[in-house]
Structure 1
């Protein structure tokens, strides 16, 4: 896998991907969009203020990956569940929309990329696109990390880094590590 972010001439970042990398990244992002579910687009005659103040779900998602993407806002405690439910009702819809927007921006960037002499997609991202990419890469890594059941235990994480080739988790782990490299190099470019 070749693609890592580099500074672009006029600001932003550039990324040259192998066609297989582009396909993998696009596929993972589409799968995450399916996990997030469709957005609620208001009808033309809907009141914009009503949409703005629409209430979302009050219970945490049952899917562990979605629960990681939309965690409770309050930890443990006597009223934590009630406060988290109230917070979720008024924030989760907007958060889902932002996560969908980030993922769609990533897909659009790949789909509209120029192609170099070796038929590799070459992406040139402006500042706004970079923000979307950072959000989408983070969400992809959180989702994969949850599916891999990664914890903060260093010994457990180390064992996942050395999975045998026939382990069904190996491709997810390789994608997780690659996405981490993309995220790290994009942050480096943006903080220079």
Structure 2
């Protein structure tokens, strides 16, 4: 256990004394900011060197001169030509099966739409009610991208219908599924 000694003149430190102990003085204020400054400078230099090194590796910096490179690529690079986007023509394919789902609260609408499609030359499969009865839009769904023109043909037979590619109805066996919404005016 530590021994207790009586207080003497060495236990009292004068207020004007700036030294602590025999050889140490308190550190001057602001000295820590010098270390922070050096650390920030070193970080900036290392990040800059890293970005420069990555640019060299990726080939985005060239030491061959910009003038020679630009003139060489301008003469050897072919001019790209615009590729025309193919226009999809709506078709009627009686070999495809079209299912019709009524997405509204109107009774018998699926049968009415099925009759319209049959008169337009389509082979109509199942007629049923959809899971929801508050659908606003009539949408023609097709799963196979090859049936896009046929889906446009079905949509052309139904005023206000739009098409959308989806595999949601692929398990029904139909090539195209029409979900009739409230915007159907027929």
User: Normalising by structure 2, what TM-score?
Assistant: 0.21
The structure, 1 or 2, with the larger RCO (C-alpha pairs under 8 Å, 6+ apart) is 1
Which structure has more helix as a fraction of its residues?
Answer: 1
Q: Which has the larger radius of gyration?
A: 2
Which structure has more strand as a fraction of its residues?
Answer: 2
